[in-house]
A and B are shown apart, each in its own frame.
Chain A
């Protein structure tokens, strides 16, 4: 399992009874991924930040409805995504998100080891273009599963679709990507 704070359950209980500091501590660990979930919908960094904060306030108000036995992160991310979708609707513009490469790896992200680096440079851009070019429903599952690193269950909860749909869309999306990247990643790397 990932390194979650051991006391997340305690923080949840305290936050449910209105402890602001507990709620802040609770969402602190999920700020990065929450911001990315919002960014995937609105496509603008500042807007994503505003959306995330608004969603955190809503999540705090809704804490009493959070079921203790459910996972907190997907619950929170679902609120963030919903807020982002609302923001996009309010704004009225529906242009497609186009993810860009950073000039340098994101700080804090693990530098890929030579063994795991299967693409570099120009090829990386080609893969990103292929992802950007996927139909919305496929791009959503691919970005949440692989770019955000969410599990199938978390992706399903965040996107509000059944796990089975996550599985089927992932399979189709990967197939499409492989098709459009033929010759790029298939270089005999069968492990």
Chain B
């Protein structure tokens, strides 16, 4: 039943020069005894601290600048911020939500999903509850035209989510060196092209919740809203090929 190449691999496994565990048990025991089992969510503390720092830093930017950006972009509720230490973001595991099938994703959200027609079916589909109305994120493996970022093996990350926005959406823009944000035409709507250093994006929903997200690939992001659905397309390539992907969107199914 198994193919010759599978047999060859299984046979090869026995002959690899693998490392052998040394007797590390005593040392491990010592370390474990000084490391109590965690009962609390310590892991979230740094994230909370980071968000607080970001919020504080945002207050420094002038309201005039916010309004100008809001007018210019017209992207519903999207706020762009830049965080100084990309090491925490770049190449980190793509924490995109629960892995689902395309069909499950389509069923789980109220809006109609699209897929870039020239990419073929996604290699992974994820569903998350940020925002609460649901977010579907599709990823595609890299290829020659859409290279991977770092060791992720992923060339494209495409998210779709419906925003129920706060009445007065609050736009903030701050620009770190090496990052640019500009308004671009995506078909018949105006979108936002964020290029350069890794960044965080956040928005506020109708309940006043602020939702944070970060660059997944340390790539460039094209963001636009169409028929109440916000689209976020992240690649490692330039504006023109990214616009071409956006232009090839087709409804799923």
Partner of A131, one of B9, B94, B101, B142: B9
| A160 beta carbon closer than 8 Å to chain B | yes
Pairwise interchain contact A118-B99, C-beta atoms closer than 8 A = no
Interface string of A165-179 (1 = CB under 8 A from B): 100110000100110
A18-B36, A127-B12 known; A24+B124 contact, CB < 8 A:
no
Pairwise interchain contact A60-B4, C-beta atoms closer than 8 A = no
| A185 beta carbon closer than 8 Å to chain B | yes
Pairwise interchain contact A61-B101, C-beta atoms closer than 8 A = no
A18-B36, A45-B19, A53-B24 known; A137+B141 contact, CB < 8 A:
yes
Pairwise interchain contact B17-A100, C-beta atoms closer than 8 A = yes
Pairwise interchain contact A100-B16, C-beta atoms closer than 8 A = yes
A24-B29, A100-B17 known; A94+B151 contact, CB < 8 A:
yes
| A20 beta carbon closer than 8 Å to chain B | yes
Q: A80–B95 Cα gap in the complex (Å)?
A: 17
Pairwise interchain contact B153-A137, C-beta atoms closer than 8 A = yes
Pairwise interchain contact A31-B21, C-beta atoms closer than 8 A = yes
Q: A28–B68 Cα gap in the complex (Å)?
A: 60
A24-B29, A62-B38, A137-B153 known; A147+B13 contact, CB < 8 A:
yes
| B207 beta carbon closer than 8 Å to chain A | no
Partner of B10, one of A24, A39, A64, A146: A146
Q: Which residue of B lies closest to A111 (CB)?
A: B14
A24-B28, A162-B99, A189-B4 known; A142+B9 contact, CB < 8 A:
yes
Q: How many residues of A contact B (CB 8 A)?
A: 76
| B168 beta carbon closer than 8 Å to chain A | no
Q: A8–B89 Cα gap in the complex (Å)?
A: 36
Q: A65–B28 Cα gap in the complex (Å)?
A: 21
A124-B12, A127-B8, A147-B9 known; A53+B27 contact, CB < 8 A:
yes
| A77 beta carbon closer than 8 Å to chain B | no
Q: How many residues of B contact A (CB 8 A)?
A: 49
| A57 beta carbon closer than 8 Å to chain B | yes
Partner of B5, one of A45, A89, A140, A178: A178
Q: A18–B33 Cα gap in the complex (Å)?
A: 9
Contact partners of B10 in chain A: CB under 8 A: 116, 146, 149
A164-B101, A169-B141 known; A136+B153 contact, CB < 8 A:
yes
Q: Which of A111-146 contact B (CB under 8 A)?
A: 111-112, 116-119, 124, 127-128, 131, 135-137, 140, 142, 146
Pairwise interchain contact A112-B11, C-beta atoms closer than 8 A = yes
Contact partners of A186 in chain B: CB under 8 A: 4
| A11 beta carbon closer than 8 Å to chain B | no
Q: Which residue of A lies closest to B141 (CB)?
A: A137
Interface string of B24-44 (1 = CB under 8 A from A): 110111011101111100000
A-B pairs, top 4 by smallest CB distance, nearest first, are A137-B153, A146-B9, A45-B19, A162-B99
- Pairs across A and B, CB under 8 Å, 15 listed: A18-B36, A35-B20, A60-B35, A61-B35, A89-B91, A94-B151, A100-B16, A102-B15, A102-B17, A116-B11, A137-B153, A146-B10, A162-B124, A165-B124, A191-B2
**Chain A residues within 8 Å of B, Cβ to Cβ:** 15-18, 20, 23-24, 31-32, 35-36, 39, 45, 48-49, 52-53, 56-57, 60-65, 82, 85, 88-89, 94, 99-102, 105-106, 109-112, 116-119, 124, 127-128, 131, 135-137, 140, 142, 146-149, 156, 160-165, 168-169, 174, 177-178, 181, 184-187, 189, 191
